[in-house]
A and B are shown apart, each in its own frame.
Chain A
Amino acid sequence: MNCEVEIRDGAIRIHGEMNIYSAAPLKERMIEALDAQTGDSLVNMEDVSELDTAGVQILIVAQRYCTARGASFKITNPSAVVRDTLELLRVHSLPFSSTAGDPS
């Protein structure tokens, strides 16, 4: 698949395309990754090259999963694609910090 989830320096890092094609395996990887986190989850999306509705849904569900466990879920370093999409959708429940640099 064109999408990878890894844990680096205690943060979750997603690479590649977050779309309908990668959605099924991506969901499994996200559960594993989130379960591995002990406290709040930081998700680095620097290397995400595509984000569609399926991808957004996974982000929202993941965020709720964390909240339900009393932890927070934060997106860091969104790529331009991620930023555009989230801004278009005004998904305010998915906070991201834009200060950490913009790769594009």
Chain B
Amino acid sequence: MTHDPALDTFVNESAELLSSVEALLLRCESGAADPEIVNELFRAFHTIKGSAGLFGLDPIVKFTHVVESVLDQTRAGRGPISAAAAAILLECSDHIGSLIRKATTGSGDSGALQPAGDDLLERLTAETGFKVTAGKSAAPQTPGAGPGAVVAAGEKCWHISVRFNEGVLKNGMDPLSFIRYLGTLGSIDGLQLVDDALPPLEQFDPECCYVGFEINLKTAADKTRIEAAFEFVRDDCNLTILPQEAPMVDFVQLIRDLPEADGRLGDLLIRCGSLTEKQLDECLALQARLADGGGEAPPIGQLLVENGFVKSDVVDAAIQKQSDARSSKLARAKEGPTIRVDGGKLDQLIDWIGELIIAGAATGAAARQAGLPVLLESAQQMARIVGEIRDQALKLRMVQIGTTFSRFRRVVRDVSRETGKNISLQINGAETELDRTLVEGITDPLTHLVRNAIDHGIESPEIRRERGKPAVGMVRLNAYHDAGSVVIEVSDDGGGLKRSRILAKAIERGIVAAGEPLTDEQINAFIFEPGFSTAAEVTNLSGRGVGMDVVKRNITSLRGTVEVHSEEGQGTRVCIRLPLTLAIIDGFQVGVGDSQFIIPLGLVEECVEITPSVEFSQAAASGHMSLHGSVLPLIQLGHMFEIRQKAVRRQSVVVVRSGGKRLGIVVDELLGELQAVIKPMSKLFSQLRGIGGSSVLGSGKVALILDVPGLLDHSLELQRAVGDPRRPSVNHNFNAA
């Protein structure tokens, strides 16, 4: 299957339509009786059917036709959609989704889906009581089989569209003579004089040509011969010749290219007999949607040229004119200044901005070295502007999480049906923005968490009543910004985690020693251990394909953290913390020995200078120090990464905070703020603890970016491991201190 930009438009658009269908149906199910819902549903299915027809995707057309007809009859009956019917329609919309995926990914055979589809339709018609004549031809007729087209052998119908330049008459050419000549090639079955451009009498210049023609010609001549008829005016006219069986997109392109209003042109095409009314409707629908794409309208013209239908200069001219007209039309029609942009382009932009930042840092370093004040000043000025550009570009990639959240209405509905529980979903902070690459990565873990909350968190209605809770269980999705990161919470008011059983299981599996003092949070965290998820009877959080360890891994790979808060009998709250973006961060540069590290600036709380002393060495060796009267866990980067350090006169402790926990990182040098472009680490280093990525410095050297949450975990483990002889390996580096 060739890559067809128009087909992409169809796929994207259908996905959007189906998700709006889903939202509407869920409203129906919860008892909304607004007749406008039925109308909207009908329109959505109708549009999908129409577009599918344009691409000849018959199975989709056939299936959607029945659904559409049922809705049409519901609409006529003015009745609302019953909850039961809505449930079946939901399945139908899923089915259409799979049909589209099947058809457009080129994985061919949609026959496998047929029985499921038939079954659905049977249930749908049984439920609604509406009969649908499935016989109605699903796919739009090919134009060649249009009304009254009797074509003799060897003859073919062509659609010819021509607009003359104003100067043709003055050049001594009479457009009429070309039409007469065409008549000698075959028979002109349809002809429409397009005189829309004629000005009123007062402004009319009688020596200018204002007219054009839409012609339907039946002839045995081929395209070259038809074109030759216009040879003398080739440069003075805008000519399109389409075989009548040309793909519908070509006609769409024709309609787009010509200056007249879409509706008017369509009318002309019908009167010429080149299109049936039905085809026109489909054309116009597709056209309208392509126009919606604004500046991103797929270049169907290119296809035309590639397929050899039109010479490229004609298309170029047409496209030029079209974009002129379109930009003015767009400005008028679209008050909302929103445009659709391919996500890949944004990613590229951000990649390049990353390179710009690195190059800028190199310039800055060179300027400092050169010591020229003028150069230094302009380098700083540039760095500021680049930073601004970076922020703006990253904002472009920010999307609201609401769309992702609302998808869970469906998940909640489905799972609560399966489990026979009555659940309501509450969404807060839907307008919270985060990087779209994060949104993609977070959907699966969230789905898992939501399913878990319903499946295992929330009790059955009977138990809930016994415990004095409302029968309707509550699942909450919440999102907000907090200290340079996005927090997403999934909470429920269910039974909560049974910590005693988790602990017992953890001890049994040797993850932790018996009798060790652990906080509730630490015990909760065991459910993220691999293998724990399958132990349904223990954690009450058994997995469905993905376990909690996978959830954690997914989130960690997004440089995020996850933790669980749970109150037995009251409910569970899973808290996911993600960085705002994956690409570029404001960093704080520190040096240890000859190596340099970057700490995300948003996490840095303060820096404390320390003179090396016996007391401090002891404190560092024990992994703690006292700061402002409270205990601060310490990590010595130099020891942790086994970096050879010279004796330095003073060291510094960078205090970082993440997820409510603080940690001191002991370093040799503080080197200041910088913009760090995050380069992901290769798979080889994925096991490395405490490192989140790397970044290229202005000097060309590589600095590692510290993974602060990872370091925090590490320090927690160290604290636990101190005095635990079974874990000498973790302790090893610290013994050297």
A2 at the interface (CB under 8 A from B): no
Interface centre among B176, B198, B210 (most CB of A within 10 A): B176
- In chain B, what residue has the closest Cβ to A89? B193
Are B206 and A58 neighbours in the complex by a CB distance under 8 Å?
A: yes
Are A20 and B176 neighbours in the complex by a CB distance under 8 Å?
A: no
- In angstroms, how far is the closest chain A Cβ from the Cβ of B339? 39
- In angstroms, how far is the closest chain A Cβ from the Cβ of B325? 23
- Identify B201's interface contact among A20, A56, A61, A90, CB under 8 A: A61
B175 at the interface (CB under 8 A from A): yes
Are B191 and A88 neighbours in the complex by a CB distance under 8 Å?
A: yes
- In angstroms, how far is the closest chain B Cβ from the Cβ of A75? 15
B-contact bits for A31-68, CB 8 A (1 contact / 0 none): 10000000000000000000011101110111011001
Q: A90-B193, A91-B193 are in contact. Are A54 and B206 (CB under 8 A)?
A: yes
- Identify A64's interface contact among B176, B192, B201, B207, CB under 8 A: B201
Are A85 and B176 neighbours in the complex by a CB distance under 8 Å?
A: yes
A80 at the interface (CB under 8 A from B): no
- In angstroms, how far is the closest chain B Cβ from the Cβ of A74? 17
- Identify B206's interface contact among A23, A68, A85, A90, CB under 8 A: A23
Q: Which chain A residues lie closer than 8 Å to B209 at the CB level? A: 53-54, 57
Are B206 and A27 neighbours in the complex by a CB distance under 8 Å?
A: yes
Q: Which chain B residues lie closer than 8 Å to A61 at the CB level? A: 198-201, 204
- In chain B, what residue has the closest Cβ to A54? B169
Are B193 and A68 neighbours in the complex by a CB distance under 8 Å?
A: no
- Identify B200's interface contact among A56, A65, A85, CB under 8 A: A65
Are A65 and B206 neighbours in the complex by a CB distance under 8 Å?
A: no
A24 at the interface (CB under 8 A from B): yes
A26 at the interface (CB under 8 A from B): yes
- In chain B, what residue has the closest Cβ to A66? B201
Report the bound CA distance from A88 to B189 in whole Å. 11
B174 at the interface (CB under 8 A from A): yes
- In angstroms, how far is the closest chain A Cβ from the Cβ of B635? 86
Q: Which chain B residues lie closer than 8 Å to A60 at the CB level? A: 195, 198
B263 at the interface (CB under 8 A from A): no
- In chain B, what residue has the closest Cβ to A27? B206
B620 at the interface (CB under 8 A from A): no
B310 at the interface (CB under 8 A from A): no
Q: Which chain A residues lie closer than 8 Å to B191 at the CB level? A: 88-90
- In angstroms, how far is the closest chain A Cβ from the Cβ of B383? 65
Are B207 and A20 neighbours in the complex by a CB distance under 8 Å?
A: yes
Are A20 and B169 neighbours in the complex by a CB distance under 8 Å?
A: yes
User: Using a Cβ–Cβ cut-off of 8 Å, how many residues does chain A contribute to the interface with B?
Assistant: 25
Q: Which chain B residues lie closer than 8 Å to A88 at the CB level? A: 176, 179-180, 183, 188, 191
Are A57 and B206 neighbours in the complex by a CB distance under 8 Å?
A: yes
Q: A53-B211, A54-B206, A54-B207 are in contact. Are A20 and B198 (CB under 8 A)?
A: no
Q: Which chain B residues lie closer than 8 Å to A30 at the CB level? A: 201
Are B179 and A31 neighbours in the complex by a CB distance under 8 Å?
A: no
Q: Which chain A residues lie closer than 8 Å to B207 at the CB level? A: 20, 23-24, 54
Are A64 and B200 neighbours in the complex by a CB distance under 8 Å?
A: yes
Q: Which chain A residues lie closer than 8 Å to B193 at the CB level? A: 56, 89-91
- In chain B, what residue has the closest Cβ to A30? B201
B345 at the interface (CB under 8 A from A): no
B649 at the interface (CB under 8 A from A): no
- Identify B211's interface contact among A31, A57, A65, CB under 8 A: A57
Report the bound CA distance from A89 to B207 in whole Å. 19
Please provide the chain B residues from 148 to 207 with a CB less than 8 Å away from any CB of chain A in the complex. 169-170, 172, 174-176, 179-180, 183, 188, 191-193, 195, 198-201, 204, 206-207
- In angstroms, how far is the closest chain B Cβ from the Cβ of A40? 17
- In angstroms, how far is the closest chain B Cβ from the Cβ of A39? 18
- In chain B, what residue has the closest Cβ to A52? B174
Are A52 and B204 neighbours in the complex by a CB distance under 8 Å?
A: no
Report the bound CA distance from A73 to B180 in whole Å. 27
- In chain B, what residue has the closest Cβ to A21? B207
- In chain A, what residue has the closest Cβ to B207? A23
Report the bound CA distance from A54 to B176 in whole Å. 10
Q: Which chain B residues lie closer than 8 Å to A89 at the CB level? A: 176, 179, 191, 193
Please provide the chain A residues from 75 to 100 with a CB less than 8 Å away from any CB of chain B in the complex. 85, 88-91
Q: Which chain A residues lie closer than 8 Å to B210 at the CB level? A: 57
- Identify B192's interface contact among A23, A31, A68, A90, CB under 8 A: A90
Q: Which chain B residues lie closer than 8 Å to A19 at the CB level? A: 174
Are A68 and B200 neighbours in the complex by a CB distance under 8 Å?
A: yes
- In chain A, what residue has the closest Cβ to B174? A52
Report the bound CA distance from A52 to B209 in whole Å. 11
Are A53 and B192 neighbours in the complex by a CB distance under 8 Å?
A: no
Q: Which chain A residues lie closer than 8 Å to B192 at the CB level? A: 90
Report the bound CA distance from A31 to B201 in whole Å. 8
Report the bound CA distance from A52 to B168 in whole Å. 12
Report the bound CA distance from A26 to B206 in whole Å. 8
Q: Which chain A residues lie closer than 8 Å to B188 at the CB level? A: 88
Q: Which chain A residues lie closer than 8 Å to B170 at the CB level? A: 20
- In angstroms, how far is the closest chain B Cβ from the Cβ of A19? 8
Q: Which chain A residues lie closer than 8 Å to B198 at the CB level? A: 57, 60-61, 64
- In chain A, what residue has the closest Cβ to B179? A88
- In angstroms, how far is the closest chain B Cβ from the Cβ of A82? 12
Interface centre among B169, B170, B183, B209 (most CB of A within 10 A): B169
Report the bound CA distance from A99 to B193 in whole Å. 25
Report the bound CA distance from A79 to B242 in whole Å. 35
Report the bound CA distance from A85 to B180 in whole Å. 9
- Identify A53's interface contact among B174, B183, B204, CB under 8 A: B174
Report the bound CA distance from A58 to B210 in whole Å. 11
- Identify A20's interface contact among B174, B199, B204, CB under 8 A: B174
Please provide the chain B residues from 470 to 514 with a CB less than 8 Å away from any CB of chain A in the complex. none
Report the bound CA distance from A24 to B170 in whole Å. 12
Are A27 and B204 neighbours in the complex by a CB distance under 8 Å?
A: yes
- In chain B, what residue has the closest Cβ to A34? B201
- In angstroms, how far is the closest chain A Cβ from the Cβ of B159? 16
Report the bound CA distance from A68 to B204 in whole Å. 15
Report the bound CA distance from A20 to B176 in whole Å. 12
Q: Which chain A residues lie closer than 8 Å to B179 at the CB level? A: 88-89
Report the bound CA distance from A96 to B670 in whole Å. 95
Q: Which chain B residues lie closer than 8 Å to A52 at the CB level? A: 169, 174, 176
- In chain A, what residue has the closest Cβ to B171? A20
Q: A57-B211, A88-B179 are in contact. Are A24 and B206 (CB under 8 A)?
A: yes
- In angstroms, how far is the closest chain A Cβ from the Cβ of B650? 92
- In angstroms, how far is the closest chain A Cβ from the Cβ of B642? 90
Report the bound CA distance from A60 to B196 in whole Å. 11
Report the bound CA distance from A66 to B211 in whole Å. 20
Q: Which chain B residues lie closer than 8 Å to A53 at the CB level? A: 169, 174-176, 209, 211
- In chain A, what residue has the closest Cβ to B191? A90
Report the bound CA distance from A76 to B179 in whole Å. 25
- In angstroms, how far is the closest chain A Cβ from the Cβ of B270? 14
- In angstroms, how far is the closest chain A Cβ from the Cβ of B489? 68
Report the bound CA distance from A90 to B192 in whole Å. 7
- In chain B, what residue has the closest Cβ to A23? B206
Q: Which chain B residues lie closer than 8 Å to A64 at the CB level? A: 198, 200-201
- In angstroms, how far is the closest chain B Cβ from the Cβ of A48? 14
- In angstroms, how far is the closest chain B Cβ from the Cβ of A21? 9
13 CB contacts below 8 A, A to B, read A19-B174, A20-B169, A23-B206, A53-B174, A56-B193, A56-B211, A57-B195, A58-B204, A61-B200, A64-B200, A65-B200, A88-B179, A89-B176
Give 6 new A-B contacts, CB below 8 A, not counting A57-B198, A64-B201: A30-B201, A53-B209, A88-B188, A88-B191, A90-B192, A91-B193
Closest 7 CB pairs of A and B: A23-B206, A27-B206, A65-B201, A52-B174, A20-B169, A53-B175, A89-B193
